[in-house]
Amino acid sequence: MTAPVLCLASASPRRRALLASIGVPVTVHPCDIDETLQVGESAQAYVQRLAVAKAEAAAPFTHLPILGSDTAVVVDGRILGKPANAEEGAEMLRLLSGRCHEVLTAVAISGPEGMLSSCVTTQVTMREISADEIVAYWRTGEPADKAGGYAIQGLAAIFVKQIQGSHSAVVGLPLYETTHLLCRQGVPIWQRV
């Protein structure tokens, strides 16, 4: 097992798995930050601000480069966070059903080159989702901690008709852009993880 070369400022098992898939061993230090949307803040500015804030919040705890990331699902200009309960989860899936929405994922990496960041927007088109499917999906437990109330890499894959953009960004980390930023910060990829 290779020693960590990056600090992941997130408890997301999906982000950790994505980094492992490109051979980047990490240490995990999730940071609690205020995720309140600011008045007049766009979805892109919001996810970029949170990604940077997470990376900055972990700085006192490590000497390694730090990766912060945030994902938002946006429909009709409305940012859909993680559903608080079954009713909110069902409302989100009804909003997404049969239409296209955006998934924005920002990544920020602090290191020798300062704070580097990128934001990726992916278009996701959902098929019509029945009321029974929405209830059954919530009962699986999968959507409870996911932005927009669904996981494209999980059971909700059957709802996704089409994506235009980065699949890994919808999962939680745009690997193409992340790798570019990691290389600029001198973080090696393709290590044994």
As annotated, the active-site residues are: 70
Provide φ and ψ at 179, rounded to 5°.
-60, -40
* 173, HSE (Cβ side, Cα atoms, 13 Å): 25
Angstrom distance (rounded) from CA 55 to CA 9: 6
Determine the Cα–Cα distance for residues 15 and 96; give it in Å rounded to an integer. 23
What is the CB neighbour count within 10 angstroms for residue 17?
A: 14
* Residue 137 and residue 112 in contact, taking contact as beta carbons nearer than 8 Å: no
What is the sign, positive or negative, of the torsion defined by CA atoms of 163, 164, 165, 170?
A: negative
Asked if 80 and 74 count as a contact pair (C-beta separation under 8 A), the reply is yes
- Three-state secondary structure call for residue 134: helix
Amino acid at 122: T
